[in-house]
Amino acid sequence: MIDIVLRTENLTASYDEHVVVKNVSLSIVRNSITAIMGPSGCGKTTLIRCFNRMHELSPKARVEGKVYLIENSYKREEIDIYSIDPMLVRRKIGMVFQRPNPFPTMTIYENVIAGYILNGIKLKKSEADEIVEETLKKVSLWDEVKDRLNKKGTFLSGGQQQRLCIARALAMKPDIILLDEPTSALDPVATMRIEELIEQLKDTVTIVIVTHNVGQAGRISDYVAFMYLGELIEYGPTDIVFTRPSHEKTEEFLAGKIG
């Protein structure tokens, strides 16, 4: 049996009257990397923003359908994330954005534990030190920054900042991390390092990554979803979708004919 961590049922999302995500039903496999690819404006970012309830922050945004977070699939403990406090959802499902966005007023150290600081969760100094060191090691940033943890996070390079943002999301010990085109603002070397990092992380956390880069989806993902004009066209294991796509549109996208 496949261990599912998140499941959507007929998820439809819109801004104002404009429907961006149409009737999407899919299941995300625990401790895997799922890539969501598709041309610009196909609704892939909106889809993942429905997973952590960030979509509803936009004015006139609407969400219909269900999203379940599954804590333990053997006991069938499902949480309808639209029935609980969005703050709880966002602590269980972290997010990393297109442009690195460390908090400008915080040091590297504070940025890692920002989720605790800002939520007013008190940590002992030793606990905080441990979380910072452990998390920075996970994102392979520790060696680069351990001597300047009290410098502002914004002094780091773009790639380092993005790894810091991944660390910030990881530090909250979420079930899932959503990555919204995390490398689109980075150079190829930094991109490669983030991709390596993502592959290392899947043992600890489930990763859903939005990308418009077909190559990236192919390189790192276990499962891939292809979206086109708001619809989920195809979804399955990456090697199968990439070698034998069952839908004509997917084939055209993979061949670079659309997108």
Partner 1 sequence: MYFRIIKSKAISVLLTFIALLSTIPFLLVLYFILKNGISVINWEFLTTLPKPVGEPGGGILNALVGTIILILIALFLSVPLGIMVGIYLSEHPEGKIAFFSRLVSEILQGVPSIVIGIIAYLWVVKPMGHFSALSGGVALGIMMLPLVIKSTEEILKLIPNEIKEASLALGVPYYRTILRVIIPAGLSGILTGILAGVARIAGETAPLLFTAFGNPFLNFNILKPISAMPLLIFTYAVSPYEDWWSKAWGASCILVIFVLSLNVITRLLSKR
**Which CB atom, from 25 or from 157, has the smaller least distance to partner 1?**
157
Shortest distance (Å) from residue 136 CB to partner 1: 17
Give the one residue of 54, 145, 207, 210 binding partner 1; rule: CB under 8 A: 54
From 6-14, 16-24, 29-37, 113-121, span contacting partner 1 (CB under 8 A):
113-121
Shortest distance (Å) from residue 165 CB to partner 1: 7
Give the one residue of 72, 119, 157, 200 binding partner 1; rule: CB under 8 A: 119
* Residue 44 binds partner 1 (CB under 8 A): no
From 4-12, 36-44, 51-59, 229-237, span contacting partner 1 (CB under 8 A):
51-59
* Residue 169 binds partner 1 (CB under 8 A): yes
Shortest distance (Å) from residue 82 CB to partner 1: 15
* Residue 256 binds partner 1 (CB under 8 A): no
For residues 173, 174, 180, 184, the Cα torsion angle rounded to the nearest 10 degrees is: 20
From 110-118, 133-141, 142-150, 236-244, span contacting partner 1 (CB under 8 A):
110-118
Give bridge partners of residue 94 from the DSSP assignment. 177
* Residue 114 binds partner 1 (CB under 8 A): yes
Task: Supply the angle between the helices 158-170 and 188-201 in degrees, to the nearest 10.
Answer: 20
- Tell me the C-alpha distance between 185 and 111, whole Å: 20
Handedness of CA 22, 26, 28, 34 (dihedral sign): negative
From 37-45, 112-120, 128-136, 232-240, span contacting partner 1 (CB under 8 A):
112-120
Query: Left, alpha or beta for 230 (phi > 0: left; psi -120 to 50: alpha)?
Result: left
- Alpha helices by DSSP H, listed for 38-179, are 44-51, 86-92, 108-112, 114-118, 125-138, 142-145, 158-170
Helix (H) or strand (E) segment spanning residue 215 = helix 214-220
- Tell me the C-alpha distance between 80 and 67, whole Å: 6
- Tell me the C-alpha distance between 249 and 233, whole Å: 8
- Tell me the C-alpha distance between 111 and 208, whole Å: 22
Give the one residue of 18, 74, 83, 120 binding partner 1; rule: CB under 8 A: 120
Shortest distance (Å) from residue 2 CB to partner 1: 27
Which residues of this protein are in contact with partner 1, per CB under 8 A?
A: 52, 54, 57, 87-91, 94-95, 97, 99, 101-105, 114-115, 117-120, 165, 168-169, 172
